[in-house]
């Protein structure tokens, strides 16, 4: 099973892929409306917001955690 290079989510069904395109290496949550992959800053903002909303963390703590998670993902290795 392919794993999204930008957020680490396993892509189980066609629907999980960006634009439903299984040749893509990133998921629908990491795609912009035009189908291209979000930038580092866009993804960092999105992940931070998600962690605050679902886990209630302090915003700066959430940003630091999001940065830590992204460090380990193939899309952000440079």
Partner 1 sequence: MAGSQRQKQKTETKNFLVETAMEQFGKRGLTATRTADIAAAAKLSHGTVFLHFPTREVLLEEVIGAFGMRTANRMHELLDSECTMEEVLAAHLKGIEENEAFYAVLVSETAVLPEGAHNTLIMIQSAISHHILQVAQREMNAGTMKKMPFDLLFNTWIGLVHYYLSNRAIFAPDGSVIARHGSRLLTHFMDLISEKGGLQK
Which one of residues 22, 36, 53, 74 is an interface residue with partner 1 (CB under 8 A)? 53
Q: Which residues contact 51 (CB under 8 A, 6 or more apart)?
A: 57, 62, 65, 66
Residue with tokens 């915003």: 59
Distance (Å, whole) CA 2 – CA 68: 22
Asked if 58 interacts with partner 1 (CB under 8 A), we say no
Choices 17-25, 35-43, 44-52 (CB under 8 A): range interacting with partner 1: 44-52
Which one of residues 2, 9, 25, 28 is an interface residue with partner 1 (CB under 8 A)? 9
20: left (phi over 0), alpha (psi -120 to 50) or beta: left
- The residue ranges that bind partner 1 (CB under 8 A) are 1, 3, 8-10, 12-13, 15, 47, 50-57, 62, 64-65, 68-69, 72
């Amino acid at each position: 099973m392919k794993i999204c290079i930008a957020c680490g989510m396993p892509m189980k069904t066609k629907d999980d892929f960006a634009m439903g395109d299984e040749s893509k290496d990133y998921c629908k949550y990491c795609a912009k409306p035009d189908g291209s992959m979000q930038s580092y800053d866009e993804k960092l903002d999105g992940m931070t917001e998600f962690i605050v909303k679902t886990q209630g963390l302090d915003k700066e703590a959430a940003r630091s955690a999001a940065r830590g998670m992204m460090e380990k993902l193939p899309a952000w290795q440079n």
